């Protein structure tokens, strides 16, 4: 879906360099899942892939070897796929933050250890031709760690920073870190802050959470610590057949889950649907179907809270399959479509879906009335809510089946060379074998298509009018219209013009 929406840069927060450390971070992803995601991105020739990892200080040779194996697999796949994707590996030191399970953990203050792990990272990246970036320096990491944990202990030092000429301008200086360490070592509680904390430890402002919350964090922390210990599981001999009863139980459970999934898929395959007619902004003209459908479902959910529980799927619809050839390349960059469109929305209950559309239509009109009362500057200050919903101009449920023989289109060309536009139109009509007579209008021309040519279901009406800055072209086309040919003629004369056809209606 993200590729369909035009996304070309991806970031994967893998965090742990091995499965052991990912379990420690409660990052429930396996090696095969990571490789599957990476290979999919590389196969699609994304412009850039960023992989983010965390350096905790617990990394050992076995973890780093596992990271090297992953890098080798990724490099091999990139070479086999001939992928041009730029891969950036970024690593940052782990900050043990309050209000998280790791607030109980000892602080990682061994600079030599952390920087040696970072150096191993960089060497592995160099070996497999990957870019490496260390997110922060040790000074930045350590001051961040201390200030987020020490609380009142560091207040006096922090207050004195201006008088000591300590200025944070993107990076912390070595002098500021040394000063902070010297100050804190004079306090009695600093050694306790560095060490592992007891279950009774509470950070500043702990009163905002209940005691049950702190107990839950402690439970998560203790479970995480167990993942750091490597456990060797002996391989049973064949004659022992260990776990046979358990396998049978798991098999029965798995069969039940599979049966449930199959039943859900069967139900979803037979969901009822409602037909919806919308008018959408030109801003969506070049959207792919996947993006457009996702946008419509989000818009309905924004207008009607909770609607997402009743709307499961959305597909774009045309009056009949013959129109697909007319608008087949509307998702390509050659031309876009906006205006009146149709969608099928699927869900468990057609009545509920119809009610959602009705409520959304009313809510949309309320938003439009609100916008009408605001001046332009106020609208711009409304943030993303009003502006994103403004992409939807109208919405209603359609009870009768779709049927249309012609479609009225409006195209605004931000040019004023009437001669070139007229020549392109006449060339296009001639290429389709359509005869016409030309009728002069006040500010343009109308191409009167002959009755015999109109029966070819290509174009039945064309007119344009000019102004000082643009030309407005209106045309009624049929199911056999070759819009691509007309667009190519326009692009030949106006190569930088974005051609958008706005659908004004069907008949």
Report the mean per-residue pLDDT for the chain: 85
Overall size of the chain counted in residues:
507
Structure confidence by residue, pLDDT tens digits, 441-461: 988 899 999 989 888 889 999
Measured distance CA(354)–CA(356) in Å, rounded = 5
- List C-alpha distances in Å: 153 to 106, 107, 157, 195, 359: 17, 16, 8, 16, 55
Measured distance CA(91)–CA(218) in Å, rounded = 27
Q: Is the pLDDT of residue 434 over 80?
A: yes
Q: Between these two residues, 22 and 385, which has the higher pLDDT value?
A: 22
The dihedrals phi and psi of 417, each to the nearest 5 degrees, come to: -90, 90
Q: Is the pLDDT of residue 179 over 50?
A: yes
Residue 62 token pair:
């076995």
What is the number of other CB atoms lying within 10 angstroms of the CB of residue 408?
18
Give, in degrees to the nearest 5, the angle at Cα 36 between 101 and 260.
80
Measured distance CA(173)–CA(427) in Å, rounded = 70
Give, in degrees to the nearest 5, the angle at Cα 361 between 360 and 367.
85
Confidence class for position 26, pLDDT limits 50, 70, 90 = confident
Domains in the chain and their CATH numbers?
9-135+198-211 (3.30.750.200), 273-398 (no CATH), 406-506 (3.60.90.10)
Structure confidence by residue, pLDDT tens digits, 274-299: 999 999 998 888 888 888 898 899 89
Question: Are 128 and 172 spatial neighbours (Cβ–Cβ below 8 Å)?
Answer: no
Task: Give the per-residue pLDDT at 96.
Answer: 94
Question: Are 322 and 403 spatial neighbours (Cβ–Cβ below 8 Å)?
Answer: no
> What is the helix, strand, coil percentage profile of the chain, to 5?
45, 20, 35
- For tokens 């106020």, what's the residue? 378
């Amino acid at each position: 879906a993200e590729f369909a929406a035009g996304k070309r840069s991806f970031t994967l927060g893998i965090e742990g360099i091995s499965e052991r450390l990912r379990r420690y971070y409660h990052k429930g992803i396996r090696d095969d899942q990571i490789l599957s995601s990476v290979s999919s991105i590389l196969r699609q020739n994304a412009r850039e892939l960023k992989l983010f990892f965390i350096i905790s200080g617990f990394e050992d040779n076995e973890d780093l070897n596992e990271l090297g194996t992953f890098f080798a697999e990724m490099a091999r796949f990139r070479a086999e796929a001939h992928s041009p994707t730029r891969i950036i590996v970024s690593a940052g030191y782990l900050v043990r933050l309050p209000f998280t399970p790791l607030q109980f953990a000892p602080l990682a203050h061994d600079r030599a250890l952390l920087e040696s792990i970072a150096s191993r990272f960089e060497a592995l990246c160099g070996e497999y031709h990957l870019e490496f970036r260390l997110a922060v320096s040790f000074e930045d990491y350590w001051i961040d760690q201390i200030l987020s944990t020490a609380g009142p202990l560091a207040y006096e030092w922090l207050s004195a920073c201006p008088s000591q000429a300590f200025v944070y301008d993107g990076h912390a200086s070595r002098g500021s870190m040394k000063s902070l360490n010297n100050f804190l070592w004079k306090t009695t509680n600093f050694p306790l802050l560095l060490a592992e904390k007891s279950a009774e430890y509470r950070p500043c402002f702990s009163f905002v959470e209940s005691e049950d919350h702190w107990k839950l964090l402690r439970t998560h922390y203790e479970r995480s610590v167990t993942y750091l210990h490597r456990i060797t599981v002996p391989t049973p001999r064949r004659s022992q057949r260990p776990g046979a009863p358990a396998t049978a139980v798991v098999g029965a459970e798995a069969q039940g889950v599979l049966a449930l999934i199959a039943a859900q898929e069967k139900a979803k395959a037979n969901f009822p649907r409602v037909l919806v007619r919308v008018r959408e902004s030109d801003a969506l003209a070049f959207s792919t179907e996947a993006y457009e459908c996702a946008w419509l479902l989000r818009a309905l959910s924004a207008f009607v809270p909770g609607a997402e529980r009743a709307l499961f799927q959305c597909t774009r619809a045309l009056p009949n399959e013959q129109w697909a050839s007319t608008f087949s390349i509307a998702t390509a960059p050659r031309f876009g479509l906006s205006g009146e469109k149709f969608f099928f929305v699927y869900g468990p209950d057609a009545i509920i879906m119809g009610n959602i559309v009705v409520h959304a239509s009313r809510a949309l009109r309320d938003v439009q009335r609100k916008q009408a009362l605001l001046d332009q500057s106020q609208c711009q200050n409304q943030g993303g809510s009003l502006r994103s919903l403004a992409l939807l101009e109208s919405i209603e449920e359609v009870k009768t089946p779709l049927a249309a023989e012609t479609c009225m289109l409006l195209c605004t060309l931000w040019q004023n060379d009437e001669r070139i536009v007229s020549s392109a139109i006449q060339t296009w009509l001639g290429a389709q074998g359509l005869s016409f007579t030309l009728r002069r209008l006040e500010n343009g021309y109308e191409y009167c298509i002959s009755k015999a040519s109109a029966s070819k279901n290509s174009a039945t009406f064309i007119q344009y009018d000019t102004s000082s800055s643009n030309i407005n072209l209106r045309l009624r086309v049929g199911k056999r219209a070759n819009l691509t040919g007309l667009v190519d003629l326009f692009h030949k004369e106006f190569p930088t013009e974005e051609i958008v056809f706005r659908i004004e209606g069907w008949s």
